[in-house]
Structure 1
Amino acid sequence: MQIYRELRCKFCGKLLAKGSGFVQIKCTRCKNINSFS
């Protein structure tokens, strides 16, 4: 079983995705680009 983590915006706290790996996603609420690894 693989454990996924919640990827939340660093600026407003909105849940953007659940998963793992390297992700770069733009928040639809505050329009900031977040990078996760």
Structure 2
Amino acid sequence: MIDSNHCPQCSDGSISLEEPYCNQCEFYADPDIVVWG
């Protein structure tokens, strides 16, 4: 579960439901797996 727009991998970048790739480390928050809270 992700409850903020901070990347859970690098903490420096941001992710969102609309933009699931981190803008710093390119972590992908797969919408089929990730639950946004």
TM-score, scaled to structure 1: 0.45
- Bigger Rg over Cα: 1
Greater RCO, CA 8 A, separation 6+: 2
